[in-house]
Structure 1
Amino acid sequence: MRNPHSPTLRLRRLVAELKQGRENKNFTVAQAGQRLGWTASKISKIETTETRRIMAADLDRLLDLYDIDDPAKRSALHALARDAKERGWWSKYREVFGEQALPDFEAEASVIRTFEGLVVPGLLQTPEYAEALFRGGRYTGPDDIERRVRARMARREILTRFNPVHLRAVLDEAALRRMIGDTEIMHEQLQHLLYMAKLPNIDVQILPFSVGSHAALVAPFSILEFAEHLNPPIVHVGTVTDSVFFEQAGDVERYNMTFGDIQGTAISTSQSARFITELSESLERDA
């Protein structure tokens, strides 16, 4: 069984190839549409991914127009079009993730760099910790909380699958000190964090209170990078009501610089492991 893929990224990859093909022929959007008997709007909606499903016949006409004749490349582009039509597991949790689902991008990320200031990152949470976290929000029924926990736990598969994502997590000390649930839940969460930090594809660093002010005293964020060069990095920032994605090169670079600053300020992975261990042992004594 192949690894889960991102329908959104496959679509973006496909339209990037199509746009490049049009530009190689020196066609404007209007000229390409005129030659196919389509409106310029139809070409534009394809190239901006507003049209999420590209029919095989339409794709063939575009490839013919752009003189993309290589059978292997045509086959690969049709495969991208088919993949873009599929629905990921996260589609059944639309009310949890929203229209632009973070797992859609996580599924195909090769590296994720994430900063959290107040809580343990979702990818590293235990079910009990996540449940206690959701219970601390606005009142919702137990069924809704259970569904949110299931959705969050399903995201973690990218860390342990074949060819897993590389996760680089920086946590403020406050994320470890804040009591979510009870002492037992926090102790188990810290033990899980230590276990995950031992995996070769996961690095965990702590920003202790002793460093004082640092570059990321703002909202938590994640930078997702992809192996395919046609998929540039994106930044995800979670808000109270939705997810915000930044894709412009300038925005991504600013977040890259911020993450580099806090990673340099944080204590090393081995020091962080000792820090978490000492805090975990303290909780165990309290319990």
Structure 2
Amino acid sequence: MRHGPAVRRRKLGEELRKLRDRAGLTSPEAARLVGWHQSKVSRIETGRSGVKTEDVARLLEVYDLQDPQLRLLLEALAQTSGESGTQWWHAYRGLLPSQYRDFISLESQASRARTLETSVMPGLLQTPDYAREVTRAMLPGLSAGKIDTLVEVRLARQEVLRSRDPLALSAVLDEAVLRRRVGGGPVMKEQLRHVRAAMELPHVRLQVLPFAAGAHTGLAGAFVIFSFPAISDLDVVVIDHLASSLSLERKEDLAEYSAAFRRIQEQALSPQESLHLIDDIESGA
């Protein structure tokens, strides 16, 4: 188990090593061509240190990488494998824990997210009022100003669903998520309407796991599986706890959680059936 930046560094290093091998270069030869000591190339390839975007660009020129999509992804990985970079969430680094910033960096790079939520609405689908109530409940004692800032961050994250190349989101919600009256009736009505609108997006698939399903794999807790373009083995599972999160990257873990998500989807209502249940719950909210 590793946290976000370590996962990114190791994956970036693996891909750079593959490209070097494909270019027919040894580590010392690559270092000489870019004017570095061989130990720097070694540290980058083993994930022991972060790397600047411009350094990755220099290596990719030496390795003659022609795939523009892969180039962009590797340069983005360089930005998020450490604490440097100019992504929007760095403006909030004084308030956001590093693990939350890591999560946002994964989410912003991903092409697909599969998520199971058992307690609250996925952050990407929350309304401002719902997000405010959840934040206030989870972080008691936080000032109103800081709560507002965290809600601002939550809403900024949702841009991944509205971008030109949006994140494909597959979400399964336990029925409890819909029935828990966060903020009271008016807040929940607005939230449920917001979810219904999101379900009309072609890149959003939402299913409800009804109480009638009984015991299911998801009882172990919520999780998210992020998948990335160009490099299939970058997939990572993120499991959130109250004060921390864990990133799982082993192929065995990914296979286990992917299979679990498929089973949960099979137990859940279809999107259309889920929509009917949401309508029923909204009418009584």
TM-score normalised per structure 2: 0.82
The one-character-per-residue Cα deviations of 1:192-233 (angstroms, maximum 9, x if unpaired) are 111111111111100111111011102211111112126521
> Which aligned pairs between 1:124-203 and structure 2 lie closer than 5 A?
124-137=125-138, 138-203=140-205
Could you tell me whether the CA contact under 8 Å between 1:12 and 1:231 is conserved in 2? Answer: no
Tell me the distance in 1 between the aligned counterparts of 2:203 and 2:240: 24
Secondary structure of residue in 1 paired with 2:220: coil
- 1:4 alignment counterpart: none
**Partner residue in 1 for 2:78:** 84
Give the whole-Å Cα distance in 2 for the aligned partners of 1:110 and 1:255. Answer: 18
Task: For residue 244 of structure 1, report the CA deviation from its aligned partner.
Answer: 1.4
In structure 2, what is the Cα distance between the partners aligned to 1:82 and 1:114? 23
Instruction: Report the counterpart of residue 111 of structure 1 in structure 2.
Output: 112
**What is the aligned-residue RMSD (CA, Å)?**
3.4
Structure 1: 5+ residue stretches without partners: 1-6
Match of 2:274 among 256, 272, 275: 272
Amino acid at match of 1:202: V
SS of residue in 1 equivalent to 2:273: helix
1:39 CA displacement: 5.5
Mean alpha-carbon deviation: is it higher for 266-275 or for 242-251?
Answer: 242-251
Structure 1 residue 108, shift from structure 2 partner: 2.2
Displacement of 1:31 = 8.9
Post-superposition shift, 1:92?
2.1
Larger Rg over CA atoms: 1
Q: Distance in 2 between matches of 1:54 and 1:11?
A: 11
Provide the rounded CA distance (Å) in 2 between the counterparts of 1:192 and 1:132: 16
1:250 and 1:13, CA in 2 relative to 1: closer, same or farther beyond 3 A? closer
Work out the CA distance in 2 between the residues paired with 1:108 and 1:260. Answer: 23
Other-structure match for 2:45: 47
Q: Does 1:253 align with 2:255?
A: yes
96-105 or 176-185, which deviates more: 96-105
Between 172-181 and 30-39, the greater mean CA deviation after superposition:
30-39
Residue by residue over 1:164-203, the C-alpha shift from the partner in whole angstroms, topping out at 9 and shown as x without a partner, is: 1111110001111111111100111111111111111111
Counterpart residue type for residue 112 of structure 1: A
Match of 2:221 among 205, 213, 219: 219
Contact map agreement 2:56 2:78 (CA 8 A) in 1: no
Which residue identity lines up with residue 84 of structure 1 in the other structure? A
1:96 aligns with 2:96: yes
Q: Alignment identity in percent?
A: 32
C-alpha spacing 1:142/1:13, structure 2 compared with 1 (3 Å) = same
Alpha-carbon distance, 1:53 to partner: 3.0
* SS across alignment from 1:179: coil
The change in CA–CA distance for 1:59 and 1:196 in structure 2 (over 3 A counts) is closer
Displacement of 1:45: 2.0
CA contact (8 A) 2:117 2:173 kept: yes
Kindly provide the CA deviation profile for residues 123-179 of structure 1, in whole angstroms up to 9, marking residues without a partner as x. 110000010111112221111111110111111111111121111110001111111
Structure 1 residue 236: Cα displacement: 1.3
Question: Does the aligned pair in 1 maintain the 2:113–2:225 contact within 8 Å?
Answer: yes
Number of equivalences: 271
Amino acid at match of 1:89: W
1: distance between equivalents of 2:92 and 2:51?
21
Which 10-residue stretch deviates more, 181-190 or 42-51? 42-51
What SS is found at the alignment partner of 1:181?
coil
CA distance in 2 between partners of 1:79 and 1:146 (Å): 32
Greater Cα shift, 98-107 or 211-220: 98-107
Q: How does 1:19-34 map to 2 (within 5 A)?
A: 19-24=17-22, 25=24, 27=26
Question: One-letter code of the match for 1:255?
Answer: Y
Aligned counterparts of 1:256 and 1:230: Cα–Cα separation in 2: 13
Q: Offset at 1:276?
A: 0.3
Tell me the CA shift for residue 23 of structure 1.
3.9
Q: Secondary structure at the match of 1:206?
A: strand
Which one-letter code corresponds to 1:210 in the other structure? Answer: A
